[in-house]
Amino acid sequence: MRTTDRHARNDRIVHLRARGLTLGKIAEQVGLSERHCARVLKERSEHRRSDSPAARRASYSDATGAELLDKLQEATADLAAEAREHAGRYGVLAHLRIEYALRQAEEAIAELRGRTEVLSGSDRPSTTAAGEGGAPLPEADMS
């Protein structure tokens, strides 16, 4: 099962539980055991607590550019899975718009990832005490 499919399935479990269905009914509808559904609900509630805005900001400030792009890519995939699940009501055009937006997001992420790799590699100009890229700083006129 693809990650996006699993996320969509898990979102559905949470949604069904929020609607008041019992674990038995949820398990029937999604084709999993009650125990598995309970585990998904527990993981989701733990994730929500650790996913507070303050915790996210702290994790973002410590992350590298590549890690931030990974988080963005994961969030984009989750959003696309959610949109696909609910787009069925709106037909083929909605599905096409979702796929187009997802492709644009993935292309932008790939472009940023490429730029991040260039900046983190040896191609980055070094800044020295002499100035940007080793060019000497102009002397100040002290007269």
pLDDT per residue as tens digits for the range 79-94: 887 777 777 777 778 7
Measured between alpha carbons, how far is residue 19 from residues 22, 27, 29, 43, 136 in Å? Answer: 9, 14, 13, 18, 68
Ranked by mean pLDDT, which of 17-26, 65-74, 80-89, 114-123 comes out on top?
17-26
Average pLDDT over residues 34-56: 73
* pTM for the model: 0.41
**pLDDT at residue 134, rounded to an integer:** 46
Contacts of 35 (CB under 8 A, 6+ apart): none
Which pair of structure tokens corresponds to residue 122? 């040896």
- Dist. CA 95–CA 131, nearest whole Å: 52
